[in-house]
Amino acid sequence: MSLDTTALVPRAVTRPPNRRVVGLLLLAAGPVLVLGLLFVLPVTGMVAEGFVVDGRFAPGAVLEVLARPRVHRVAWFTVWTSGVATALAVVLGLPAAYALHRLALPGRAAVRAALLVPFVLPTVVVGVAFRQLLGEGGPLGSLGLDGTPFAIVCGLVFFNVAVVVRTVGVAWEALDPRPGQAAAALGASPSQVLRTVTLPALRPAIVGAASIVFLFCATAFGIVLTLGGVRHATVETEIYLLTTTVFDLQAAAALSVLQIVVVVGLLALAARLRAVPDPTAHRTATPARPVRRGDTPVVVATLLVLAAMLVPILTLVVGSLRVDGGWGLANYRALSGTGDDQALLVPVTSALATSLRTAVDATWMALLVGVVVAAIVTRRSHSVAERRVRSTLDGFFMLPLGVSAVTLGFGFLITLDQPPVDLRDSPFLVPMAQALVALPLVVRTLTPVLGGIDDRQRQAAASLGASPWRTLLTVDLPVAWKPTLAAGGFAFAASLGEFGATSFLARDDSPTLPVVIFRLIGHPGAMNFGMALAASVVLAATTAVVMLAVERLRVPGVGAF
């Protein structure tokens, strides 16, 4: 036997690449299994309903659907409205991200918390608020925007601009200012610094935020229906219509497949755009600097964005205070009751308690899985295969954002109905569904933080005899625990506001607040409408308070939410 020179390479440090990939897959098995069970299986099951006709695999009908001109129209409408809304959210969000995270503006913590309020407001209520503004008799009625694609885009931007402000703002806060100063000292004007240094450094955050926003927009449901009226259908509304009203499962399956293909393509593109030459960018906690005269345009732009966000919310608040043509708090007092003529089984107050409880469960579930996923996808890869596995996993866990809640909801019913996984009656079903929506937010929040940890610290810990588990505890956890809490806060908010899956799955004896609001606004009676608005204000205020609490936990520069 000849001497094997490779034996001279210290094996303990660099394990063979294929063994690393296997280890990686083992570690990923848990979260993958969870997502496979709660997402892939139901969606596949529902899509299969369309492909399998009378027990035979018959893809012809589905493919035929894809050729329909209406499907093309719907797909194109979805893509362009989501694209425009995403672009607008980014353009409007960037100045606000800078102003609220980099400048010492008074009250910026409160403003940052308030910015997340639209995120949790029930779309149906916001839709009505928007329509009271844009409708024929509203103050902006003369613009004739009601029912136009423009109104849809406005609504989408309203709901999503906070995602951009948060994600990009935190990255901006953590951005080392010195490369920018070096560029300025080399003769770059402020706009050149922005273009050549700052934006490239922010690219991962901007692309990450934009892809989340795009997915939210592309799967938006209530806002499209309410603001667009019946004329404008998106893939998501069409799937709903085809599944529940027309019961054309082939067509619904075709659109679901189309949606998944587009989402996967988009995620692949986003992963490419997000990749930067040097991911271990320097992170610093830069103190916010005082506002200078040169900041005027940014501050003005931010104030305009805030004002635009505030108007629909104010409409809600004003509406909630209207009682019989006068003003009063009767709508709020009524919240502890059950509405006009018992429109509700439970008082709004106990629905709020249910919402909070459900949100807690959804939050720990999302965190549990999200932390593991984030840890997996951010470890440095030692081979191309390994990197590919990691980035595939990264995209895989974003999928739930981009796939129809209708398909997923019905899929739950028809696939998770047999022991050992009969989850249909489980009280965990609602929080699990909400956790699926919150999971990508947790992962996107944590990956930049964990990715920013210098791998050499982990190597140092390992060389001192720490096991991988111990390394996680001593190196990753101290850096990541606060952002993890912050990510939990965002998951909490997302869960509080989640309506699509919840309304589908909620049990009647314990409806969540958005479900109750939806019920209130679905019945005639001035009091019910006023209560729906008041309950929305309560939901918004609760969210703002939770977000403020999270804000207090935030470490500057880490943890996007």
Q: Identify residues 222-261 at the interface with other proteins (CB under 8 A).
A: 225-226, 228-233, 237, 241, 243-248
Strand partners, 56: 53
On the CB side of 474, CA atoms within 13 Å amount to 14
Kindly state whether residue 561 participates in binding other proteins, applying the rule CB under 8 A.
no
User: Based on CB atoms, which residue is closest to other proteins, 81 or 237?
Assistant: 237
Single out the segment in contact with other proteins by CB under 8 A; choices: 11-19, 33-41, 186-194, 255-263: 186-194
Amino acid at 225: L
Instruction: Identify each DSSP E strand in 36-103 by its residue range.
Output: 52-53, 56-57
Kindly state whether residue 333 participates in binding other proteins, applying the rule CB under 8 A.
no
Residues 501-540, mask of contacts with other proteins (x by CB under 8 A)? --xxxxxxxx----x--xx-xxxxxx--x-----------
User: Based on CB atoms, which residue is closest to other proteins, 247 or 469?
Assistant: 247
Segment 263-292, which members bind other proteins (CB under 8 A)?
Answer: 276-278, 280-281
Single out the segment in contact with other proteins by CB under 8 A; choices: 126-134, 162-170, 328-336, 457-465: 126-134
SS3 57: strand
Segment 206-225, which members bind other proteins (CB under 8 A)?
Answer: 225
Contacts 24+ apart (CB under 8 A), 69-76: 71/238, 71/251, 71/254, 71/255, 71/258, 74/233, 74/234, 74/235, 74/238, 74/255, 75/235, 75/258, 75/262
Cα–Cα distances (Å) from 65 to 57, 111, 157, 256, 531, in that order, read: 16, 47, 31, 12, 43
At closest approach, how far in Å is the CB of 561 from other proteins? 16
User: Based on CB atoms, which residue is closest to other proteins, 129 or 377?
Assistant: 129
Kindly state whether residue 175 participates in binding other proteins, applying the rule CB under 8 A.
no
Segment 377-416, which members bind other proteins (CB under 8 A)?
Answer: 409-410, 413-414
Single out the segment in contact with other proteins by CB under 8 A; choices: 16-24, 28-36, 354-362, 379-387: 354-362
User: Based on CB atoms, which residue is closest to other proteins, 192 or 286?
Assistant: 192
Contact 89, 161 (CB under 8 A): yes
Residue carrying structure tokens 């990009």: 168
Structure token pair of residue 141: 């009625």
Single out the segment in contact with other proteins by CB under 8 A; choices: 82-90, 266-274, 355-363, 388-396: 355-363
Residue carrying structure tokens 């008041």: 534
Residues 456-485, mask of contacts with other proteins (x by CB under 8 A)? ------------------------------
How far is it, in rounded angstroms, from Cα 410 to Cα 442?
25
Kindly state whether residue 186 participates in binding other proteins, applying the rule CB under 8 A.
yes
Tell me, by CB under 8 A, how many residues bind other proteins: 107
User: Based on CB atoms, which residue is closest to other proteins, 10 or 524?
Assistant: 524
How far is it, in rounded angstroms, from Cα 311 to Cα 409?
34
Segment 34-53, which members bind other proteins (CB under 8 A)?
Answer: 49
* Neighbouring residues of 112: CB distance < 8 A, sequence distance ≥ 6: 100, 101, 165, 166, 169, 547, 551
